[in-house]
Amino acid sequence: MKIALAQLDYHVGNFEKNTSKIIHAISEAKKDGVDIIAFAELAICGYPAWDFLEFDDFINRCEASIREIAVHCIGIAAIIGGPSRNPVPEGKNLYNTAFFLNNGNVEKLIHKTLLPTYDVFDEYRYFEPNTAFACVDYKGKKIAVTICEDLWNLDDDPMYTINPMDYLIKEKPDFAINIAASPFSYTHDASRVNVLSRNAAKYNIPFFYVNHTGAQTELIFDGASMVAHPDGTIIKLPVFEEKISIFNLDEICTGKYPEYTAPQKYALITSALVEGIRDYFHKMGFKKAVLGLSGGIDSAVVFALAVKALGKENVLPVLLPSPYTSDASNLEAIEMAKRLGTDHKIISIASITSSYESVLKPLFEGFEPGLAEENLQARSRGTLLMALSNKLGYILINTSNKSEIAVGYSTLYGDSIGAFSVLGDLYKTEVYELANYINATENNPIPEFIITRPPSAELRPGQKDSDSLPPYKILDEILFEYIENRKGPKEIIAQGHEEETVQRILKLVNASEYKRFQAPPILRVSEKAFGVGRRLPIVAKYLS
């Protein structure tokens, strides 16, 4: 039996394109003599569709797409993910379903059993869990079909009370197919390989796994579809690439396949961020980007990634110097624009901030100059960048990093603005490591001075980030333990960090929630990004 895995990039709500892409894949697979082709979870509508699933018209279009695709399944079967209606009044109105299409019809519906409601997932908001289990019979083979999370209940502290494969294995399936919508993080590939391998070993059958690729706003999908054999063989599809791979069931354990090796962290992150930028622009119908280029590490890395994603002709860096901007910052920013071959613009903000200060002088009488004046500079820059965005039709890309966003070291309506954030899920120390990786692999687009200089917002004479924050190595270690590992202050202090520093940093994190609530969407590359996957109240007293 020939089995194809169709690892494709879908677009939420773009039914015409999704349907056309699926039909084309079926047609190509049929030419190659494929018996069954599998597409990803909720491929029909794209993932995540969120509250679009509450619209009858949206579900009607999903159903129409399934019917349109089914007529092409003659001489080939397909498994495709989509929402289906629950005919029983009790419970949720929808199931998360794998449609088995054959002989021009929908022959079987397999519903998802385990509905995640953690991190970025909120599936029980929309779907009813499955309670009936049966394999698919096709061409003399029994196929155990599951959907994403259905394979993940293997831990010593299981999240769910049942495991769908424990029921399906009773029918003695020949192999299993799992269709998934599994978002990228730089550690998740190893987790997926582990889960698929453990399932294959536990149930002693091959597992075929197909995932989305492409990006949907902040969620990035890397594909990384695979076949796991009980003997430990892992056959991987490429990451961040549309690919249809065909496997012969009788040969998957005897064929000569490349040995699986785990990808390098910053290679994955670079590919993910480039995919996130490119798909945001492509799916929104945008072409050109604008960003503020300060001569600092964050904007330099974003600039390099944007050029890689969109092309040098589609990225406009803008220098916005103030009286406190060093000549070195300007020179290095211009040098980087030359290295990448882009145009650049320079707009001084001195007269603008001076006008603001003049207008506000009567109201600021008696107050020493301080943070308000510094923030006027950031907001002047934000206003100018948004004006260029409006006038030229360019999309403004945010350049803040996770460390700054975590502790509120940013200005609302200033450096926090933008359509989406490229580095908002990378700590400052990771940004430096990413910069070094980019230079090592992309012919040194980032001037060395930008990487080695002490970081500074340059909003007052001689200012350095270290005036306001601990060294980034210490800060990022504390933030990682609190944000990713959900450790409390006592636990973090016990790891060797100073009590006063820990208490101050955690207070800054929680007190800055109101800023993050107004931040742009952040491309997710870790297991715990700010945004939809981390939900905390703004008005709260805990540690603040």
Q: What is the pLDDT of residues 100-120, one digit of tens each?
A: 999 999 999 999 999 999 999
**Of 159, 116, 142, nearest to 203 (Cα)?**
142
Find out whether 151 and 172 touch, Cβ atoms under 8 Å: no
Average predicted confidence (pLDDT) for the chain: 95
Q: How far apart are CA 330 and CA 418, in angstroms?
A: 22
Confidence of residue 461 (pLDDT cuts 50, 70, 90): confident
Confidence of residue 468 (pLDDT cuts 50, 70, 90): confident
Predicted confidence at residue 257, as pLDDT, reads 66
Q: How far apart are CA 16 and CA 37, in angstroms?
A: 20
Predicted confidence at residue 86, as pLDDT, reads 97
Confidence of residue 156 (pLDDT cuts 50, 70, 90): confident
What residues are labeled active site? 41, 112, 148
Residue 316 has pLDDT above 80, yes or no: yes
**Of 75, 83, 71, 81, nearest to 36 (Cα)?**
75
Q: What is the pLDDT of residues 382-413, one digit of tens each?
A: 999 999 999 999 999 999 999 999 999 999 99
Task: Determine the length of the chain.
Answer: 544
Provide mean pLDDT across the span 69-97.
97
Q: What is the pLDDT of residues 157-192, one digit of tens each?
A: 899 999 999 999 999 999 999 999 999 999 999 999
Q: Tell me how far apart the terminal alpha carbons of the chain are, to the nearest angstrom.
A: 60
Predicted confidence at residue 459, as pLDDT, reads 79
Q: What is the pLDDT of residues 496-525, one digit of tens each?
A: 999 999 999 999 999 999 999 999 999 999
Predicted confidence at residue 253, as pLDDT, reads 62
Residue 45 has pLDDT above 80, yes or no: yes
Find out whether 332 and 450 touch, Cβ atoms under 8 Å: yes
Q: How far apart are CA 211 and CA 5, in angstroms?
A: 9
Predicted confidence at residue 113, as pLDDT, reads 98
Find out whether 309 and 277 touch, Cβ atoms under 8 Å: yes
Q: Which domains does the chain have, with CATH numbers?
A: 2-253 (3.60.110.10), 269-465 (3.40.50.620)
**Of 442, 434, 456, nearest to 336 (Cα)?**
442
Q: How far apart are CA 80 and CA 38, in angstroms?
A: 6
Predicted confidence at residue 32, as pLDDT, reads 96
**Of 401, 381, 424, nearest to 291 (Cα)?**
381
Q: What is the pLDDT of residues 234-281, one digit of tens each?
A: 999 999 999 999 999 988 766 566 667 778 999 999 999 999 999 999
Residue 283 has pLDDT above 80, yes or no: yes
Predicted confidence at residue 259, as pLDDT, reads 67
Residue 201 has pLDDT above 70, yes or no: yes
Find out whether 530 and 425 touch, Cβ atoms under 8 Å: yes
Predicted confidence at residue 254, as pLDDT, reads 64
Predicted confidence at residue 255, as pLDDT, reads 59
Predicted confidence at residue 466, as pLDDT, reads 80
Q: Which amino acid is at 269?
A: I
Per residue, what are the HEC states of 392-442? HCCEEEECCCHHHHHHCCCCCCCCCCCCEECCCCCCHHHHHHHHHHHHHHC
Confidence of residue 457 (pLDDT cuts 50, 70, 90): confident
Q: What is the pLDDT of residues 116-142, one digit of tens each?
A: 999 999 999 999 999 999 999 999 999
Find out whether 211 and 225 touch, Cβ atoms under 8 Å: yes
Q: What percent of the chain has pLDDT over 90?
A: 93
Predicted confidence at residue 25, as pLDDT, reads 98
Confidence of residue 292 (pLDDT cuts 50, 70, 90): very high
DSSP 8-state secondary structure symbol assigned to residue 52? G
Q: What is the reported pTM?
A: 0.95
From residue 192, how far is each of 148, 185, 201, 218, 395 by CA, in Å?
A: 10, 11, 14, 20, 35
Provide mean pLDDT across the span 17-41.
98
Q: Which residues contact residue 55 at a Cβ distance below 8 angstroms, ignoring those fewer than 6 apart?
A: none
Three-class SS of residue 20? helix
